[in-house]
Amino acid sequence: MKLTSRTSRSALGAVTVSLSLALFATACGGDTGADKAGTSTKPVTLTYWGWSLGAQQVADEFNKTHKDIQVKYSAITGGPDGYAKITNAIKAGNAPDVVGIEYPQLPEFASQGMLEDISDEVGDTVESKFSQSIQDRVTLGGKTWAVPYDATPNLLYYRKDIFEKAGVEVPTTWDEYEAAAKKIKKADSDVRIGAWANDDPALLPALAWQAGAQWYGIEGDSWKVGIDDAASKKVADFWQGLSDDDLVAKRGFTSPEFTKAKEDGTVASYIGASWSAAGQMTTFPKQSGKWGVAPLPNWGTAATGMYGGTSYAVPKGTEHVEAAAEFAAWAATTPEAVKARLSKLDAPSSGLPANEELRAVAAGLFDDQGYFGGDDVYAIASAAADTIVPDWTWGPVQTATNTAITDASSKGTVADGLKAGQTAAEKAIEDRGLNLAK
């Protein structure tokens, strides 16, 4: 989807005021960067914290071609520990200049005043280089808080040999997926079509997003929480039913048991994103030719949510806002950055750039050597990116929400997790001093 220069800001105009009041009330401090106004000409050294494969190579390539800006990369742990490190550094006044932040966590950082507004530096770039569904991940309250790096539409990875043996076609809808699950179990009582363990806080919202859920929204100057909405309940009931009927293996996607199930062929498919392809190849090299890739089954219309995804953001307090934003934009929008990130790794990488112009570059650097039986991971993922459901909003309290959902659903049902997430999100919003729509 192509955009004209001011499309997204015009579309957001109606909600900008309320968003600015409700979402970013604490994020409107004065400019702190000495070079934000363009007054500094002295060469600067930026510190960049992240965890993505190839990040060091991106910094090295940037340094070769930029004499006035140099980037020093430091690897940190991803996930909660990494975010805690970033948060503590910002609060202590010694934040890095650029950080990697995943899309679900970005509003949380912005709403707490921990990020620089980089609209002036990269707002036009984000508008012109990314589709609306990707812009919406980083353009919040009418302001640009980061530059998106990758797009992560959900995909279905499946064992072609197991599907063929069971006489099952690749499902295109969730009804077909359930029917296929029954046939696969009937063909071999030890095999299940997939797995579900009620413990993946990233997958549940991605599937709810696909179904048309709206976990967060704005009413006037207040946040509205809809984690326990009808679309989410439909997803919860579907997967709970598959689990109760023993049609999916009760194994978490990050567990050793799930890895073993893929290795021994007792799980015939799983939900991932484009980045899953490289991990699959690296972990199970002997299964080359047995796996395929397809769009995620849907509820009747081609659609998907996103499973993760990372952006480049500029923490509050840096003295080099303009230089940091320049590096962020370069890292996310230039062929040189993609080539550096993907071509010099010890293992393959299959991340899908959010910038459509760079996908051919990334695809050209990825050789699956026939691993997926002729299925083109990048072509399938890129087409899926065009079906990302618009208007999804991540909320300002996703960490608390994820914890509540995981705890409750692991002890009970998926629906229990949604209820707990709803309660936790509402409480966390009020505890943070933000307005909550009743």
The domain that contains 422 carries what CATH number?
Answer: 3.40.190.10
Q: Are residues 90 and 65 in the same domain?
A: yes
182: in domain: yes
436: in domain: no
CB 236 within 8 A of CB 414: yes
- Outline where DSSP puts E strands in 64-171: 69-75, 98-102, 139-140, 143-144, 146-148, 150-151, 155-159
What average pLDDT values come out for the chain (438 residues) when binned by 10 residues? 32 37 44 46 90 94 96 95 96 97 96 97 98 94 96 98 98 98 98 90 94 93 95 97 96 87 96 95 96 98 95 97 98 97 82 96 94 96 96 93 93 96 97 93
Taking the alpha carbons at both ends of the chain, their separation in whole angstroms is: 36
Q: Are residues 123 and 70 in the same domain?
A: yes
Domain interval for residue 11: 7-152+307-385
251: in domain: yes
Contacts of 285 (CB under 8 A, 6+ apart): none
Distance of alpha carbon 69 from alpha carbon 284, whole angstroms:
41
Q: Are residues 277 and 409 in the same domain?
A: yes
437: in domain: no
Hey, what are 317's tokens? 């307090």
438: in domain: no
Q: Are residues 107 and 175 in the same domain?
A: no
322 torsion bin: left (phi>0), alpha (psi -120 to 50), beta (else) = alpha
Question: In this predicted structure, what is the pLDDT of residue 36?
Answer: 47
207: in domain: yes
Q: Are residues 100 and 215 in the same domain?
A: no
| Cα 238 to chain centroid, rounded | 23
CB 235 within 8 A of CB 211: yes
Domain total in the chain: 2
Question: In this predicted structure, what is the pLDDT of residue 431?
Answer: 96
Q: Supply the pTM of this predicted model.
A: 0.90
Question: In this predicted structure, what is the pLDDT of residue 11?
Answer: 34
Q: Are residues 246 and 258 in the same domain?
A: yes
Question: How is the chain split among helix, strand and coil, in percent rounded to 5?
Answer: 45, 15, 40
Q: Are residues 354 and 364 in the same domain?
A: yes
**Is 126 exposed, middle or buried (CB count within 10 Å of its CB: 0-12, 13-18, 19+)?**
buried
- Alpha-carbon separation of residue 29 from 24, 115, 154, 291 (angstroms): 10, 10, 37, 51
